Homo-oligomer: A and B are copies of this chain.
């Protein structure tokens, strides 16, 4: 296993972490992901960790790093599929995953990213309401 695949799904990138992360793999993932964000203009990153039964401070820091890098490249990061036991461990360890939003599953994560997109994209902003009656005399 040289690298973790990054799947493009519309405006988002999806990464499924299934294997134990070691130093080199984490570095490769950071490099690959930032390159892909730059290449594709992706606006969001989904990191699915449903396969992980344990998240230690190393993985926590890696996820926080990725989120920080993605944010600078104008992409939001959502971590999905965290197992309840992992959530318990993270809180007990005092790891707060700064800058990272979470969602229960990939579908909700995508909705969350989509809502960020809708909020920030001026192209989909609602046009200001036009005063249709202005200038026209009232009918009597």
- Counted per complex, copies of this chain come to 2
A105 within 8 A of B: yes
A7 to B50, CA, bound (A): 9
A91 within 8 A of B: no
Q: Contacting A18 at CB < 8 Å: which of B5, B14, B50, B53?
A: B5
Residues of B within 8 A of A3 (CB): 51
Q: Is the interface of A mostly helix, strand, loop or mixed?
A: loop
> CB distance A48 to B5 under 8 Å?
yes
**Residues of chain A at interface, number, CB under 8 A:** 22
Residues of B within 8 A of A53 (CB): 2
A100 within 8 A of B: no
Chain A residues near B (Cβ < 8 Å) = 1-5, 7-10, 14, 16, 18-19, 48, 50-51, 53, 81, 105-107, 110
